[in-house]
């Protein structure tokens, strides 16, 4: 198959699937999701993504549809039916199917899974970004389906002719529309702490781990928009892009002053990905 989708026990090609109108995702965006990259049929940081998915369900009080190992076996079985060995594995859980009512219904959750071809996005193209006000709620640590303000920020970036948007909350940088953002200053990486204002990115955690292995200090603290402009390097981390470099912020040149540190980190992150997903 070119791709496959799963919804509460039913499977078909993604474009053929239909979802009940009373699924609470339609009324309230009442659910959570996660996604990971799989190369050579080997999902990268699989356990970490599944753990975050189940933790997001816990934080929104959505009952898990099944134990983690059973869930992984289900995803693996679906992935095996897709022709491409390089895939994006997407999974989401909603509170279930029930007539529209704000209070939680007494029903079981709905589980969605999609598997489609996908690989690592180009990492050698420098990125240009804009800053936008972070008007989102204060539970950004939960990977919910309520992404309209992320979509609006991304559209603002598209209309500005740049790659993505960086959120600013009360003068401090939080994250990008769909990734984490970091700076390097005076030989140290600075990244916003994993609190309620950012998603605890798996790629972000991986970056911190590998920076430690390379002996690059990491400060988990808020940093300002002014620090963003004055940074030696600016970069993002995400599942599908790993560690691209940002060279322009709000039309002004940014970073590009500590290439030795940045490219050493980027190479180490890529090496870790390719080693973990190397074909047998």
**Active-site residue set:** 143
Per-residue exposure over 125-135, b if at least 16 CB sit within 10 Å of its own CB, e if not: eebbbbbbebe
Helix, coil or strand: residue 122: coil
Cα 10 to Cα 142: distance, rounded to the nearest angstrom: 27
Cβ(4)–Cβ(114) under 8 Å? yes
> Backbone phi, then psi, for 46, in 5-degree steps?
-55, -50
Residue with tokens 């975050």: 52
Helices (H), the chain: 24-28, 46-59, 68-79, 148-160, 202-214, 225-230, 259-276
Burial group, residue 114, by CB count within 10 angstroms (0-12, 13-18, 19+):
buried
């Amino acid at each position: 198959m070119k791709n496959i989708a799963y919804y509460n026990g039913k499977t078909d090609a993604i474009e053929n699937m239909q979802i009940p109108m009373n699924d609470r995702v339609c009324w309230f965006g009442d659910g959570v999701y996660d996604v990971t990259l799989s190369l050579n049929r080997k999902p990268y940081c699989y356990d970490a993504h599944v753990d975050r998915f189940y933790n997001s369900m816990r934080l929104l009080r959505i009952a898990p549809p099944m134990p983690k190992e059973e869930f992984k076996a289900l995803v693996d079985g679906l992935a095996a039916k897709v022709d491409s060995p390089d895939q994006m594995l997407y999974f989401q859980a909603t509170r279930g199917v029930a007539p529209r009512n704000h209070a939680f219904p007494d029903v079981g959750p709905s589980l969605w899974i999609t598997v489609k071809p996908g690989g690592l996005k180009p990492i050698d193209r420098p990125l240009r970004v804009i800053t936008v006000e972070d008007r989102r709620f204060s539970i950004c640590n939960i990977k919910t389906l309520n992404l309209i303000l992320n979509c609006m920020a991304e559209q603002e970036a598209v209309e500005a002719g740049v790659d993505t948007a960086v959120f600013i909350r009360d003068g401090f940088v939080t994250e990008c529309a769909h990734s984490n953002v970091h700076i390097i200053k005076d030989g140290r990486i600075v990244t916003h702490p994993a609190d309620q204002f950012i998603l605890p990115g798996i790629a972000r955690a991986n970056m911190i781990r590998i920076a430690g292995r390379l002996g690059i200090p990491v400060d988990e603290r808020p940093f300002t928009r002014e620090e963003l402009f004055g940074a030696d390097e600016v970069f993002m981390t995400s599942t599908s892009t790993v560690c691209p470099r940002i060279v322009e912020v709000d039309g002004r040149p940014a970073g590009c002053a500590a290439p030795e540190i940045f490219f050493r980190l980027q190479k180490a992150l890529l090496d870790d990905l390719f080693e973990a997903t190397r074909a047998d």
